Amino acid sequence: MTARELLARCEDAARTYGRGPAAVVAVHGADCQVLSGDRIAVTGPSGSGKSTLLHLLAGLERPTSGRVSWPGLGDAADTARRIGVVFQGPSLIPALDVAENAELPLVLAGLPQEQARHRAMEALLLVGAAGLAAKLPEELSGGQAQRVAVARVLALRPRLILADEPTGQLDRASGQHVVDVLLAAADGIGAAVVITTHDPAVARRLNSQWAMHEGRLLPAPAPDPRSGPGTPAPDPRSGAPSSPQAEPTPLGDER
C-alpha cells in the first residue's frame, strides 16, 4: 500500500477582506489538510467562506494570518502547475474556441502548441466534449461549458483539483454528469479532489464532507441521521480517509 501524500495544508489560516469596521472575516483560523486520493466536499450556506477556503488551498489568496502550505507539491512553480481550479462562474474565454480554451494553460506554461493541443483533445475526450472542440463558448450549454472547464483543468494533469460549485448553474442531471466526469477523470490521473457545493446529492458522492458556517470550518460534520451507524465522519484536521485502507494523517506528520 502506498502512503498517502500531504498535498495541501491550512494551519490556523484566516482571510479577512477590508479593514476596520467594514472588515469581513471570510475564513476564521482553519486547520485542514488534503491528502492524495482524497475526495472532499465542502458544504455550507452562501457566504460561509467555501470559495475563500478553496482559493486559500489553491494559493490564489494569501491568508491574512496563519499558513497554507503544499508539502507534497514541490516548489512554488511546481505547486501552481499541480493545482487545477474549476471556478464558480463561467470561466471560458469567449473569443477562443473550446480546443483553444482547453489548451490555453498549457500554452501559457510553455508547452509546444502541438503537444498542448494533443493533451487538450485527450482531456476533452475524457469529459465527452471532443465533439465540441471547434465551438465557441457562447454556443455551449451550461453543462457543456462546465465540462470544458473541467477538461481545461485535466489537461494540466494536476495532482490536486479544486472545483468551486462546478454544478451550481446546472440542473440536477447535468450537475451529476459533470461530477461523474470529474471524479472518473480524477481517478484516471490520480488527482485528489475538493469540491464546494450546495447540493447534498453532490456532497454524498464524495467520501468526506467538510462543513463551513460563518467562516468557520467545523471540526466534523454533523452525522446524517438517515445514514444510520457507519464510519464516523473524518475531521478536516486529520485528513479525509477516502477508502477503507486510507490512513488519517495527523497534523505535523507529513509522510
Ligand X SMILES: Nc1ncnc2c1ncn2[C@@H]1O[C@H](COP(=O)(O)OP(=O)(O)OP(=O)(O)O)[C@@H](O)[C@H]1O
Q: Is 118 helix (H, G, I), strand (E, B) or coil?
A: helix
Contact 84, 158 (CB under 8 A): yes
Residues 85-124 interacting with ligand X (rule: CB under 6 A): 88
Q: Residue 249 and residue 255: Cα distance in Å, rounded?
A: 8
Judged by beta carbon distances under 5 to 8 A according to partner kind, the member of Mg ion, ligand X, none in contact with residue 46 is: ligand X
C-alpha cell at 222: 454533523
Q: Residue 109 and residue 163: Cα distance in Å, rounded?
A: 21
Judged by CB under 6 A, the residue of 37, 44, 175, 234 near ligand X is: 44
Can you spell out the DSSP letters for 193-211? EEEE-S-HHHHHTSSEEEE
Main-chain phi, psi angles of 160, to 5 degrees: -135, 125
Q: Please tell me whether residue 17 binds ligand X under the rule CB under 6 A.
A: yes
Residues 60-89 interacting with ligand X (rule: CB under 6 A): 88
Distance linking the first and last C-alpha atoms of the chain: 13
Residues composing the chain: 255
Q: How far is the CB of 152 from ligand X (least distance, A)?
A: 21
Choose between 50 and 119: whose C-beta lies nearer to Mg ion: 50
Judged by beta carbon distances under 5 to 8 A according to partner kind, the member of Mg ion, ligand X, none in contact with residue 52 is: ligand X
Choose between 51 and 167: whose C-beta lies nearer to ligand X: 51
Judged by CB under 6 A, the residue of 6, 26, 34, 211 near ligand X is: 26
Residue with cell 483539483: 161
**x-marked contacts with Mg ion along 19-58 as a string, rule CB under 5 A:** -------------------------------xx-------
Choose between 38 and 61: whose C-beta lies nearer to ligand X: 61
C-alpha cell at 121: 483533445
Query: Which residues contact Mg ion by CB under 5 A?
Result: 50-51
Query: Which residues contact ligand X by CB under 6 A?
Result: 17-18, 24, 26, 44, 46-52, 88
